[in-house]
Structures are given as C-alpha cells and as structure tokens.
Chains A and B, each alone.
Chain A
Amino acid sequence: MNASLSGRAASLYTMLALGYAFLYLPIVLLVIYSFNASRLVTVWGGFSTHWYAELLHDDKVLDAAWLSLKVAVVTATGATVLGTLASVLLVRFKRYPGSTLFAGMVAAPLVMPEIITGLAMLLMFVAMEQTIGWPAGRSMTTIVIAHITFCLSFVTVVVRSRLAQMDMSLEEAAMDLGARPLKVFLVITLPLIAPALMAGWLLAFTLSVDDLVISSFVTGPSATTLPIVIFSKVRLGVSPEINALASVFVAFVGCAIALGGTLSRKQD
C-alpha cells in the first residue's frame, strides 16, 4: 500500500514537472542561450555575458526600451485613472439611461482582435489629422492613446470587482459622519481599493510594454517601441543579443507580476 501511494505521488510529481516544462521550458532555454558565447543561437559555446554588453551599446535598442517605458508609464497611469472612474460609474451609479450599453462598451476591447483595434485606431488618427490637424503624424502620442484605449478595459475589470466587493455602507457611514461625497471617495473609497488600482496599473503597464500589433499600426518613424525593434531584428534572423534582451524583458515582467501578486495579497 505504501509502495502504491508513493508510486501515485511520483506520477503526480511527474505530471507537475511536465506541466511546468510545457509552460516554462522555452523561457528557460531562452535565458540559458542568452549567456551563450557562440554567435550561433542553437549551438552552446560556453558561458559569456558578451551579448548583454553588446546590448548596452546598442543605442537603437536602448532608445526603444526607453520609449516603451515612457509609453507604459503614461498608459498605465492614464488607463488607471479612466478605468477607476468607469468602475465607479458602473458599480455605484447603476440606474441611468444607457448603463447597460456603457458596461458592454467598456468591456468590448477585451474581446476585440488587436489587429482590428489597431487598424481602427490608425484610421481614426488619420481622419483626425485631416480634419482638425491633431495628432500631427504618428508618434508616441498616438501610441499612448491607442494603448490607453485597450488597457482601460483591463483596469476596469480589476477595479470594478474590488469596488463591487466593498461594503457600500462604509461610504454611507463616512457620509453620515459628515464627509462630502468627494471627500468620501478620497479618504475612504480610494484607500480601500488602492491594491486593485496598483494591480490594474501593473497590468496596464505590462500589456503596454508587451504590445506589438496595435503599436505597429499607430506608430510612426519617430517612435519605435521595444517589441517593434525585437520583431524587426528577429525577421533578419535570431541573434543572441535578442536572447539577452528578451531575458531582461522576462526578468522585468516577472518582477512586475511578483510585485502585483504581493500587493493583491496584502489587500485582504
């Protein structure tokens, strides 16, 4: 009986190992090969941090990374502000004309194919430039606007569920004790949903850093984000430098997710 039990445990661990391997083996390989001394991506030539050094001297990549970072910060902040306002409207003001339509339209970009969102955005920017002269050309501004548009939905989903869980009598109690509605929002509601705001911000940040499809539609020659650079480099063949870049990327996103996880655990 003991033997069969441990046998079962062993098979369970095997399944678990296979599952993790399926999910993370490619990433692990990518990180390992980023330390490959050889120029050939798939042939191991000894350990080296050469490609990381190379990366540091590649201005094109560094500029793109810097731009991506700026875009992501502005996007995450904008999407969090707008998404929070949308959530408050959806959760606290249930009865107004068009509320169902609004709820549907806020969530729509979640299921909209990115390629369609990107194309639609591009068409809108071109039409706007022709009629009101703004935005002039495709630049960081257009990327940020497009990113806020689709990140907003994700933030709304996160913040909305937190807000819906919150006991409404807390806000009523604050009002009952003499706080005006704006004060109630700032002093009671915001601190209580803050973890969700942070989680939403981080989610929007990662989505923005990661986005390729929408960015490539609305970008111009002056604004090349990191995913665009990586994608264009890969088309010319995978260089170990890309592996190094991707490893940095993975580390960065991993940290962001860990931080988000810690914050959302802290909220209870």
Chain B
Amino acid sequence: MATTQTKTAARFMMSPAILLLLGWMIIPLSMTIWFSFQRYNLLMPGTEEWAGWLNYRYFLTDPAFFSAMANTLLLVGGVLFVTVVGGVLFGLLLDQAIYGQGIVRILVIAPFFVMPTVSALVWKNMFMNPVNGLFAWIAKLFGFAPFDFLAHAPLFSVTMIVAWSWLPFATLILLTALQSLDSEQKEAAEMDGAGPVSVFIYITLPHLARAITVVVLIETIFLLSVFAEILVTTNGGPGYDSTNLTYLVYSQALLTFDVGGASAGGIIAVILANIVAVFLVRIVGKNLES
C-alpha cells in the first residue's frame, strides 16, 4: 500500500524526468504553433509578419490536402489489414513444430531490422523496377508486359513495402499470443466436436483479440507518419497519388520553403492524429479490460 508520504516522494523523484519530457514536447509544439500563424517563407527572408489563420485556410483548401488525407487513411488501413491478416497466418504457421524452427523464425523477423530507406530502395530497384525488377522478369517469363508498379499503382506499392517491413512485428506479437493459448482449451473444443476452422473462429481468434488490438494501436501510431518509403520511391507522385500528410508537410516546408504553411499542416496532422488516438485508446481500453 502506498502511503501519502511515499506518493509525494515518488512524485518528487519522478519530476525531473517528467519535466524534461514535457519541455521536450512543449517547446517544439509551441514553436510550431507560433510559426503556423506567421507568414514565414525561407525564399523571402525579412518579410515575416503575423498572418492570422491564413496558413490554415491555405492548407485546408489545398486540393492536395484532401488527397493526402485519403492516402494517409488508405495507407494506414491497408498496411494494418495486410499485417494483421498476414501476421495471424504466419503466426499459425510458425506455431507448428517444424525442423529448423529457430532459423525460420529469425528469417521471418529479419525485415523488421531493415531500415525503411533501404527496404524501399530494394523494393524499388530489385523488385518493382519495370526493366530490371524481379516482378518484371516474372511477367516477361509468362509473356505479359511488365507492370510499372510505382508509376501506375504508387499507393499500393508503398503500402506493400511498408506492410513488408511491419509484418514481422505483427507476426511476432501474434505468435507469442498464440503460444500462450492453453492447449487444453483447444483439446476441449476438439472433444466438443469443433473442427480446425471452428477452433480457429471460436477459440483462437477471441484469444488473439487482445494482441490484435495492441498490434493495431502500435502500428497506427507509426504508420500515420510514414515518410522514408515515399521519399525514396515515388516522391509523393505521380501528382499527389502517394502523398500522405507527413509527406505533404515535408514538401510544403522543404520543397516550397513555406515554413508557415508547413507548420499549419503539422498542427493539423497533430490534431488528426489525436482524434485517431482518442478513438483507438477507447476501443483498445475496452478490449484490454476484463
């Protein structure tokens, strides 16, 4: 039991870390908010002045903003779908006793350790390249015209690349969840007349619900800010076809040098992320209770 004294002491001792973290967050945030209300373009130094809501109006009425929003949601949703479904299937496979289990598991986890820029480059040049890529070679082998993934299905391609690097994470979490499933429960279900599919639907999936929520929550946080894969492969294009919010903010700030506009975009992204977070935390909180 914590007494009043120990609580006070604990708060006192935690305060340096908390204050540091708070400053770490609050200073950049307030600077961004300040910049977002400024007319601040790096190409026109010395003309900084108070701009009011102009930057926000400009950013929110930009047609690129809406496609970026849609792309962000599609990217996050697509990657979540692929990693959760794929993670469950891989988890089920890896849960079986097989020869060379340890090596197979390491191989499956490996993509997670590849840096985003590197994995995107590998995919771009070695797999999806319409001339030299592996997919093009396979297409030609069967007599089809090679498909230029990054030009014709840019968002899909980026989704695949990101999903590839996040699949191991989902697999790992779901595999450990699978391993914690009581084997007597499966046996009981078997004796109750449930076939493999029924066991999966009625026993395994409900058992995995918690782990799946954790995967969704953690991945969403990171996937809202996917950037490197887009920069390396499509540069947000063609047009705005693979531009997400993060990339839009980047292009605003460092391609058109409009710091004020980019800051406004950044603040909008923060607000959107928080809306998503509130919903997610509610759902997850409900699921993690009991």
A and B assemble together: no
**Interface positions of B (Cβ within 8 A of A):** none
